[in-house]
Amino acid sequence: MSPQDNTPQDCAGPAAVIVLAAGAGTRMKSRVPKILHTIGGTSMVGHALAAAKGLNPAKLAVVVRHERDLVAAHIAELDDTAQIVDQDEIPGTGRAVQQALTALDAQGLVQGTVVVTYGDVPLLTTELLAELVATHTSDKNAVTVLTAVLEDAAGYGRILRHEDGTVLGIREHKDATDAEREIREINSGIYAFDAGVLRQALTGVTTDNNQGEMYLTDVLSLARNDGGRVAAVSTTDRWQVEGANDRVQLSALGAEHNRRIVQAWMRAGVSVIDPATTWIDSTVQLAQDVTILPGTQLHGLTTVGSDAVVGPDSTLRDVQIAAGAEVTRTHGTGAIIGAGAHVGPFTYLRPGTVLGADGKIGAFYETKNVVIGRGSKLSHLGYAGDAEIGEDTNIGCGNITANFDGVNKHRTVIGSGVRTGSNTVFVAPVNVGDGAFTGAGAIVRKDVPAGALSLTVAPQRNAEGWTSANRPGSVSAQAAANAKN
């Protein structure tokens, strides 16, 4: 199942989407470029690209400048078909779009609808973009701008409307009169343009304004003056048009993103006991009738099969949990947990852990790079690494695979139907055959044949009367004296 609202549209998409991502993002106060900061496990620009790609555009361009190489490399990883466009020293959203359109035109003149979005508006969905494009197309608009009505519109460009409701243009906050600043309908910065209108109008955009920038917003009044229809689609979902400029906004957007993901999973048939303490990345997949207990974070490519129960207090990244498994108070990365298996509480699963169906890795166990067969149990206190364990084997309490000789790692291979005594140490490389037993405290340095019992026997000596002789007057001596009476 998937709760994503960036489900690709099945109709033909717009001619192009241009994602603006050249800005510096200084208010993040970070060495990491702003649009590489993540929400729900995906970078902000990753969210922007996902929403854009859902539209099935014929061409996709991303405009970069600040930390150009880092940003371009990240975008190439996400989508190697996206065209990276470098913005020159002329500032402003108008210049950014002009350079992108010129770059796209170089491979064949763009005709039809051009959508513009931002790299730092992570909650925008394909669904809302598709609504914008549908209105733009069916109303035969020259420009359609996505707007929202905000309680506090400070800082945003304001939508100027004619008495008849049609859009006259956009006034930037810094250029606005006091009366214009009273307007609460704001420009989201997301638009659908007719390519020809956009190309033509951009030639008339200057830097003659308060900020000395080429404003993309000037295109609206220029298009209207040329006789084009300029209209607005207003959304009541302000989160979808909100950008993250600092880390306070980033965390607010992250919480809202998570709230939406968790709610979508609940609607799709997953029980989430405490949405407020449950964090689920947008890349996670959950099946029907999964139960997530409080304090659980599911990251990356984690998948959970039907009827499995995860949590409380578990953090899992790239962990595959099969149907009916239970994972309790566990920290795990890169592990595979079989159907009906049990993990936890207080268990640390490291990469390469594979637990077979109906198996168990119990309390205070650490595992790494170990394949455990069906029905085998490692119930309490131990470490299993660089090992292979067969089926229906019981590993006793406190067992350790001593896999590291200080220089190299070695493998331990334990067969099926094996029973190991408490505190067995397997000094790798070593093999233990099927149906073998080990005694308590065994130190297995040599291979154990199938069906053998391996004992490490040190003789036990009892020194009678030791306590009263060596700890006179102690609680222990008193207890020993009482035992004699």
Query: Catalytic residue positions?
Result: 380
Indicate the residue among 5 and 120 with the shorter CB distance to ligand UD1.
120
Indicate the residue among 235 and 412 with the shorter CB distance to ligand UD1.
235
Q: How far is the CB of 249 from ligand UD1 (least distance, A)?
A: 11
Q: Assess contact for 211 and 172: CB atoms under 8 A.
A: yes
- Of the candidates 3, 54, 119, 332, which one interacts with ligand UD1 according to CB under 6 A? 119
Binding status of residue 219 toward ligand UD1 by CB under 6 A: no
216 binds, among Ca ion, ligand UD1, none (CB under 5 to 8 A by kind): ligand UD1
State the DSSP code for 157: P
| Cα–Cα nearest to 82, from 100, 97, 109, 106 | 100
Q: How far is the CB of 353 from ligand UD1 (least distance, A)?
A: 41
Q: How far is the CB of 106 from ligand UD1 (least distance, A)?
A: 19
Indicate the residue among 243 and 254 with the shorter CB distance to Ca ion.
243
For helices 126-138 and 44-53, the axis angle rounded to 10 degrees is 40
Please identify, among the stretches 185-193, 257-265, 286-294, 386-394, the one whose residues bind ligand UD1 according to the rule CB under 6 A. Answer: 185-193
Indicate the residue among 31 and 461 with the shorter CB distance to ligand UD1.
31
Count, residues near ligand UD1 per rule CB under 6 A: 26
Q: Which residues contact 179 (CB under 8 A, 6 or more apart)?
A: none
Binding status of residue 122 toward ligand UD1 by CB under 6 A: no
Binding status of residue 425 toward ligand UD1 by CB under 6 A: no
Q: How far is the CB of 243 from Ca ion (least distance, A)?
A: 5
Q: How far is the CB of 284 from ligand UD1 (least distance, A)?
A: 27
- Of the candidates 91, 324, 351, 439, which one interacts with ligand UD1 according to CB under 6 A? 91
State the DSSP code for 173: G
265 binds, among Ca ion, ligand UD1, none (CB under 5 to 8 A by kind): none
- For residues 132 and 423, give the distance between their C-alpha atoms in angstroms, rounded to a whole number: 66
Residue whose structure tokens are 């029907």: 288
Q: How far is the CB of 212 from ligand UD1 (least distance, A)?
A: 11
Indicate the residue among 158 and 317 with the shorter CB distance to ligand UD1.
158
Q: Assess contact for 25 and 71: CB atoms under 8 A.
A: no
186 binds, among Ca ion, ligand UD1, none (CB under 5 to 8 A by kind): ligand UD1
Binding status of residue 170 toward ligand UD1 by CB under 6 A: yes
Sign for the CA dihedral angle at 59, 60, 64, 69 comes to negative
- Of the candidates 45, 62, 96, 381, which one interacts with ligand UD1 according to CB under 6 A? 96
- Of the candidates 6, 42, 43, 93, which one interacts with ligand UD1 according to CB under 6 A? 93
Bridge partners of 279? Answer: 297
- For residues 321 and 311, give the distance between their C-alpha atoms in angstroms, rounded to a whole number: 12
CA distance readout (Å), 151 to 148, 183, 243: 10, 10, 16
φ/ψ of 377, rounded to 5, equals -130, 130
DSSP 11-71: S---SEEEEEE----GGG--SS-GGGSEETTEEHHHHHHHHHHTT--SEEEEEEBTBHHHH
Bridge partners of 86? Answer: 64
Please report, as a single letter, which amino acid is at residue 309: V
- Please give the residue ranges that form the binding site for ligand UD1 (CB under 6 A): 20-23, 63, 87, 91-93, 95-96, 118-120, 156-157, 170, 172, 186-189, 215-217, 243
